[in-house]
Structure 1
Amino acid sequence: MRALIAALLLLPGCAALSPRPVGVEQRIAAFPAAGADLERPVTIRWNAHMVPWVEAETDRDLFYALGMIQGHLRGAQVALLRLAARGRLSEAAGPFATEIDHALRILDFGRAAPAIRAAWPEETRRLMAAYTAGLNHAVMNTPPPPEFGLLGLSREPFTEDDLLAIGRLAGTDVNWLGYFALLPARGTPGFARLWERTVAAGSSAPEAALAGRRLAVIGDILAGASRSGSNTVAVAGRRSASGGALIGSDPHLGLTQPNAWLAAGMRSPSFHAVGLMLPGLPLLGLGRNPEIGWGGTNLRAASSDLFDVSALPPGAFTTERVRIRQRLWFSAERTVRRTEHGPVITDASVLPRRPGDVLALRWVGHEPTDEVTALLGAARARDGAQFRAAFARFGVSAQTMTWAARDGSIGQFYATTIPARAGFPSEDPVLDARDPAATAPWRRLLRTPDLPFVVNPREGFLASANNRPEALGGRSPPPLGFFFSDSDRVERLREMLAALPRATPADIMAIQADTRSPRAGRIAAALAERLEGIAEAAPLLAALRGWDGDYRADARAPVAFEVLLARLVPLLQPEERQGATESRRAPESQWNFITAFLLPDLDALPPARREAALREAARQAAADMARLTTWGEMHRLPLAHALVNLPVVGEAFRYGDHPIGGSRETPMKTSHGLVTARHNTAFGSMARHVSDMADPDANWFTLWGGQDGWLGSAAFADQVPLWLERRSIRIPLRAETVTREFPLVTRIEPRR
């Protein structure tokens, strides 16, 4: 009987589990053009990969059309993002997600939406209304996506507050992941030292290992949806082959499908640009117009603080009962408490905490900053000064923005809103809510105009890679955070840029595909030196000798290095944690810890214990290596839909995996933890952009996956071969080139 019930429940999902193949021309023909609320006719030109190029006679119609396009191509994706941003996952996943929803309701991504809308300039208000109307026209006038039957969802119009909540989800403070990984250890012996070393290492929060299935889901949501990684480089015109400045960006996000970005081109009276958009928002996160090209990397700034509110009086708390609808079950009720220091996150059972802790989270994302107006202004900037000025009220997620101009100039600045801190706590990330000194920084928020910037640096190039903030233009930044990527990636980018006397777009594309980690090569050499004379290490030493840190897919040395790390790092952890099942997921397993402390910790051991650890690690690693071949055979790039995590039917959404090069901090980032067997990377490089500002048509983009989120579409994963072969799609700015290269046409007439 239970099998029969399960089968009946899955019947509506058959279209998702076994989708009907649909060609590109069929998908374009299905575009819901009829009844559009336009002022003037709009033309959408498409190429063979379903990249749209929109031509509109009014700005309002452009944004209405962009909403229609996103609704048509990514309607299911935006709906699922709304479920996450609003804490409504239980409506699709049932009781499994109830406590996840409770945590998401406490984090409350939509909290600032009414205040943000109230402060919008009239133009922002008008364009967002048009976009929302176009999005709703598409989602309400087309058949529901195949996923809806499986998830028990129905079509539902979006509000501007929904979209702002999605934007705030994309602006998540990635430091939360680091906090969540550390909080359970508070109060344990050695925590003060662990925190001190975390700050010293700049531990990379998105790679933090989170224990527990439901917490891991939250981690996947936050890391996968937030703009938590990326590389961006710019080369000044005086160092390029064309004489025009070059810009290159490759965002790092979750690797599930549909891709977190959507490529598009557009032209209206005020907008003329190409780039990548975040589904659910009518904004170009990276791209170019005729004068300026841009990209951003997550600054990893600490836009949040944790406060101990356990000693506050009862009157300091407000309480709300929230109702969580559960699919196939009764609704549940949970409590959400808030203080002036933010929501009480320890009320969420799935978020980690020490027993007895009552902690509130204060976040800039709960303040009415204005990313929409900022990015609308950035898309129309005509020089670097205008571009930077557009970010005056930008808040989350904090970005290191890099730009390149048609006149050959380049620049970089920090775009954020952040408390004016003098420093960070040295022993514990949790502040005392009763301490005026702890709360004082929130009385003065620093914004983009207050922070350093640089224009045309002496080197003639710029790079950023989520690294620790540096002085720009001779000015050092104020204290901005503590969870940063290791400097290996940015140093490698700069090394390659410095070696190019006259850079070309092909050179920038090659940099984006680079798989070398010089620091890994140096650590491997140092470990090999310490392993000399240990018989068990012979096969490892044979592979590691002379390795320069290149994680090529066909290489053997990365296998030896990684299995050695995986076996050695747990042996160097504090004695009370050695042997624990989570020892390979501890903060010390992150790359920042390894580069900062592995060799000093190893050398600090008594000689007998050091030799024993090396011998045991070598013995286990040699056995691991004997079962493995190349790095690409061990390290895989998965192609899977976000629904792969569903119980029972999830495997139907796994479409395979591919051998891939790269590692945690290589320019082509393919992140992983400590590994001893075949594994998938879940976070890393998933989109590419390169533009030569000397040529309006010299713009290339690629997505890991494809443009169309419709299951079964020919454009769902058609860019995978391009990605693997390091080829790209040109998206030009000149009208005549667009006409020639985007031959499929949708004409939308105003409704009568």
Structure 2
Amino acid sequence: MRGSRKARAALLLALSLLPGCSALSPRQAPVDQRIAAMPVAGAPVSRPVEIRWNDHMVPWITAETDEDLAVALGLVHGHLRGAQVMLMRLIAQGRLSEVAGPPTADVDHALRILGFGRAAPQIVAAWPPETRRFVQAFLRGLNHALRNGPRPPEAGLLGLGAEDITEEDLLAVGRLAGTDINWLAYLSLLPQRGQPGFAELWARTREAGGNPVGAQQAGLLQAILEGTSRSGSNTVAVGAARSATGGALIASDPHLGLNMPNLWLVVGMRSPSFHAVGLMVPGLPILGVGRNPHVAWGGTNLRAASSDLFDVSTLPPEAFRTETARIRQRLWFTTERSLRVTPLGPVMTDAALLPANGATLALRWAGHKPTDEITALLRAARATDGDSFRDAFAGFGVSAQTMLWADSRGRVGRFIAATLPDRAGFPAQDFVLDARDPAATEAWARLRDARTLPAETAPTQGALASANNRPRWAERPGAPPLGFFFSDDDRVLRLEQLLAETLRHTPESMAAIQRDIRSPRAALLAAGLNERLAALPGGHPAPRLAAALAGWQGDYAADSRAPVAFEALLRHLVPALVPESRRDATGNPRGAETQWNFLTAFLLRDLDALDPARRESVLRQAARAAQADHDRLGTWGEMHRLRAAHWLVNLPALGRFFVYADYPTGGSRETPMKTSHGLIGDAPRPASFGSMARHVSDMADPDANWFTLWGGQDGWIGSAAFMDQVPLWREGRSIRVPLRPESVAAEFPRVSRIVPR
């Protein structure tokens, strides 16, 4: 009987995968074929619309009405990224089990508790008429493409149906992209809260401002939150007086998951109200990064504390409202899970993947408030200068951003775009608040947004940089505290150094900044370790390691061996300095101690605090082991890889079919060209997070806008535009996306026309 059940299960699995064979062995599709396959016939426009395409399938849309522009944008999103939009909708709704089956039921339960669509009905009801019309038109075009276009290869593999996307779906996807990155830190810290040594860990976390880092038990949930949220980025801007062209310059490179298809689309557009080029999140009708004739912009995740955790164990029973979530599971029965909601938010610890050592914790998140990012970004795309651009962000909520802008008047500026509680401060002893504390709960009754959060306009000779760092420029008297966890200053200091080294910048010099692979703090840390090793009795215990690190400037070049020497030394040294209580079963550190903030803040200090005999022993053992690693391992690029892979690489058993290439790459955790990694091991490891899109604009020239994606525009597996931008990305080249109609006509020769029914 048991064998027959297994046979039936295997047969069902095999039958379910038959429709997905085209994803495993896709047919090649030239650009012209993919453009011709877009279902323009019957698209719901009121006037003729023209879509011009370049060789990389970047669309440039010209429409006679704003609503027809929105329809065409939706059509393009659905055609190029239909499967991606459908899957993001399922993730945002907590419906992953409908394609992945029972193994993801716990993930769905956690996602439904996090409640990305919880505020959607209120947001829809409050939309201004112009926003409502634009969104509804976008959805008409998107759903027309999903219903009438060719079915994406991976849709068969995953069992994705052509279900219409709704306004609520769209908002849930937007909230998923706006995830509070601090949740990843909470996932790491909660299992250790209440354990011996937690007070010290929390104090060190506060001091280091540690990078958010997830926990192993979160698994796929952590990967989803990391890979889909706008959790990183660099943006630099210089005013006209610092520009060789006479116009202000801006350069942005968002940091997200490095799998394909990219989480951005490059688009150009013109209608009566809109004239812009930039990057759009598939399935959302807004430009996140880009420019119009008057202003260009880019944002970096502020990593502000957009949420609080409250201990609600003391609330009376009537404060808890129970909801039942029905989770459909592919090839299995529907299961039901309970989730509880309190006046302070959903009880996140009801999820098996969100443990807190028995505590009952509710999540208060700005993303559960009816803030309006769609309206803010639609208005921002029509801004006429930096001041009106900032004004557009009134009511913007998540994710909290440090927005930088450059305008046609030669100015640059920055401001905080977020909705945050008006806190007096953060507790020193814990990050979990008491539901009985009026000061903690009342802060959420007084919300601040871009109208009252810090902003500044730099003079024309100014230069600005932002890299998820602590925004000390915004820490003014009367300003609210912004958060706990920020990126190390390593990246922003290097960006500022590069900006200062050139008197007058060009678009080329701004693009070169994006590709920089130097970490100044890695150089300082390597020098400090080398000095301590050289000072040991008898001299440096690993002379070849010493030679490799001598004079190293922190350059993580792919063809260099010095980064391998440094990272090997960290690999053997860091675990020896972490208390045993904060190591996993294999003896490796868990949580934040391996993060760059902790290493730059504490590594040398912890070494120097050891008993001299213990310090000598730790240094000798680590240096000799690192020297042995360095002797047998190759260059940094041989150890540190950039894998060209579809997000289906995460599928069990079948994932290997979706790895298309594997390249040596430079960069590191906090280099401007970010290719993030943890402590290295014995085998090559791919970077999974980093600089996955690039944008540069020169406000002196409407046509001077360049973009590059890690991957390509088209999400269709087998398309010639699926990963055609990988060589551009690796070689530092880019695609010009102009604003002038005559330039668009010359550089975007392929034409699709949509006519009214």
Asked if these proteins are the same fold (TM beyond 0.5), I'd say yes
Counterpart in the other structure of 2:224: 221
Report deviation, 1:676: 2.4
Moved more, 429-438 or 596-605: 429-438
Distance 1:577 1:109, change over 3 A: closer
Q: Does 1:278 align with 2:284?
A: no
Q: 2:530 — aligned with what?
A: 528
1:239 equivalent in alignment to 2:242 = yes
Structure 1 residue runs of 5 or longer lacking an equivalent are: none
Map 1:551-700 → 2, pairs under 5 A: 551-577=556-582, 580-581=585-586, 583-677=588-682, 678-700=684-706
In the alignment, which residue of structure 2 is the partner of 1:172? 179
Q: Match for residue 52 of structure 1?
A: 59
* Alignment partner, residue 40 of structure 1: 47
Aligned residue number for residue 333 of structure 1: 336
Report the Cα offset of residue 138 of structure 1.
0.5
Aligned partner of 2:751 in structure 1 is 745
User: Quick check: 1:76–1:145 contact (8 Å CA) kept in 2?
Assistant: yes
Q: CA deviation at 1:5?
A: 4.8
Can you list the C-alpha shifts for 1:472-506, whole angstroms capped at 9, x where unaligned? Answer: 59767420001100001001000110111110000
* Distance of aligned partners of 1:210 and 1:472 in 2 relative to their CA distance in 1, 3 Å threshold: closer
User: In the alignment, what sits opposite 2:314?
Assistant: 311
Aligned to 1:295: 298
Q: 1:393 touches 1:448 (CA, 8 Å); kept in 2?
A: yes
CA distance in 1, matches of 2:566, 2:716: 41
1:630-680 deviation per Cα after TM superposition (whole angstroms, max 9, x unaligned):
111110111111111111111111112111111111000111111123111
Question: For residues 11 and 534 of structure 1, do their structure 2 counterparts lie closer, same or farther at Cα, with a shift above 3 Å needed?
Answer: farther
Question: Following the alignment from structure 2 to structure 1, what is the Cα–Cα distance between the partners of residues 306 and 584?
Answer: 36
Task: Determine helix, strand or coil for the equivalent of 1:423.
Answer: coil
Q: What SS is found at the alignment partner of 2:510?
A: helix
Counterpart CA distance in 1 for 2:475 and 2:179 is: 28
Change (3 A) 1:582 1:508: farther
Matching of residues 468-479 of structure 1 within 5 Å: 468-472=470-474, 477-479=479-481
1:749 counterpart letter in structure 2: V
Q: Aligned-pair distance for 1:322?
A: 1.0
Which residue identity does 1:696 align to in structure 2?
A: P
- State the one-letter code of the partner of 2:666: G
- Secondary structure of 2:573 counterpart: helix
Aligned 8 A contact 1:453 1:473 in 2: no
Partner in structure 2 of residue 730 of structure 1: 736
Letter in 1 for 2:279: L
For the Cα contact (< 8 Å) 2:241–2:460, is it kept in 1?
no
Distance change in 2, residues 1:459/1:193 (3 Å): farther
Paired residues for 1:232-271 under 5 Å: 232-271=235-274
AA paired with 1:102?
H
The equivalent residue for 1:371 is 373
Residues 183-239 of structure 1 show CA distances to partners (whole Å, capped at 9, x for unaligned) of: 00011111011111111111111xx14213xx1211111111111000001010001
Superposed CA deviations along residues 249-286 of structure 1, whole A, max 9, x for unmatched, are 00000111100000000000000000000111111000
The aligned residue for residue 725 of structure 2 is 719
Distance 1:118 1:8 in 2: 44
- For the Cα contact (< 8 Å) 1:700–1:728, is it kept in 2? yes
The number of residues matched between the two structures is 746
By how many angstroms is 1:577 displaced?
3.7
What residue in structure 1 maps to residue 3 of structure 2?
Answer: none
Question: What secondary structure is seen at the aligned counterpart in 1 of 2:626?
Answer: helix
SS in 1 for 2:542: helix
Distance across 1 between alignment mates of 2:115 and 2:583: 38
Unaligned runs of 5+ in 2: 1-6
User: 2:584, 2:127 → 1: CA distance?
Assistant: 55
Name the aligned partner's letter for residue 419 of structure 1: P
Residue 183 of structure 1 aligns with which residue? Answer: 190
User: Which is further off, 449-458 or 116-125?
Assistant: 449-458
Say if 1:571 and 1:578, in contact at 8 Å, map to a contact too: no
How far off its partner does 1:59 sit? 0.4
Q: What CA distance in whole angstroms lies between the structure 2 residues aligned with 1:622 and 1:340?
A: 57
Q: Deviations over 1:396-434 (max 9, x none)?
A: 000000000112111111111001111111111111111
Answer yes or no: is the 8 Å Cα contact 1:178–1:204 preserved in 2. yes
CA distance in 2, matches of 1:43, 1:476: 51
Corresponding residue for 2:4? none
Where do 1:85-100 residues align within 5 Å?
Answer: 85-100=92-107
Pairwise CA distance, 1:437: 2.0
Residue 36 of structure 1 deviates from its aligned partner by 1.2
| CA deviation vs aligned residue, 1:45-67 (integer Å, no higher than 9, x gap) | 00000000000000010001000
Q: Which shows bigger deviation, 468-477 or 655-664?
A: 468-477
Q: Return structure 1 stretches of 4+ with deviation > 3 angstroms.
A: 1-7, 472-477, 533-536, 575-580
Q: How does 1:333-372 map to 2 (within 5 A)?
A: 333-354=336-357, 356-372=358-374
**Which stretch has the larger CA shift, 741-750 or 11-20?**
11-20
Structure 1 stretch displaced more, 65-74 or 611-620 = 611-620
Q: Describe the shift of the 1:431–1:579 C-alpha distance in structure 2 as closer, same or farther (beyond 3 A).
A: closer
Most deviating of 343-352 and 687-696: 343-352
In structure 1, what is the equivalent of residue 435 of structure 2?
433
Matched letter for residue 180 of structure 2 = D
Aligned AA (2:388): Q
TM-fit CA distance, 1:579? 7.4
Q: In the TM superposition, what is the alpha-carbon distance from 1:539 to its structure 2 partner?
A: 2.1
Match of 2:110 in 1: 103
Residues 4-30 of structure 1, C-alpha deviations (whole Å, 9 max, x = no match): 554333211101111111110000001
Measure, in 2, the Cα distance between the counterparts of 1:102 and 1:723: 38
Asked whether the 8 Å contact 1:275–1:287 carries over to 2, the reply is yes
- Shift in Å, 1:535: 5.4
Match of 2:155 among 123, 148, 164: 148
User: So what's the TM-score if we normalise by structure 2?
Assistant: 0.97
**For 2:90, which of 59, 76, 83 is the aligned residue?**
83
Contact 1:400/1:415 (<8 A) preserved: yes
* Contact 2:583–2:589, Cα closer than 8 Å, also in 1: no
Which of 615-624 and 572-581 deviates more? 572-581
Aligned partners of 1:589 and 1:534: how far apart in 2? 28
- In structure 1, the residue matched to 2:31 is 24
Aligned-residue offset at 1:581 = 2.2
After superposition, give the CA deviation of every residue in 1:76-102 in whole Å (9 maximum; x if it has no partner).
000010011000000000001000000
Q: Which sits farther off after the overlay, 538-547 or 583-592? A: 583-592
Please point out which of 8, 12, 16 is paired with 2:19.
12
The letter of the residue matching 2:561 is R
Distance in 2 of aligned mates of 1:540 and 1:459 = 44
Q: Tell me which residue corresponds to 2:713.
A: 707
1:584 counterpart SS class: coil
2:448 matched residue in structure 1 = 446
Q: Is the 8 A contact 2:290 2:695 kept in 1?
A: yes
> Which residues in structure 2 correspond to 1:189-200 (within 5 Å)?
189-200=196-207
Question: Which residue of the partner structure matches residue 401 of structure 1?
Answer: 403
CA distance in 1, matches of 2:459, 2:151: 51
| Cα pair distance change 1:450/1:625, threshold 3 Å | same
Q: Calculate the aligned-residue CA RMSD, in Å.
A: 1.3
Matched AA of 2:130: E
2:504 is aligned with 1:502 = yes
| Structure-2 separation of matches of 1:446 and 1:6 | 51
Give the SS at the match of 1:449. Answer: coil
What percent identity do the matched residue pairs reach? 66
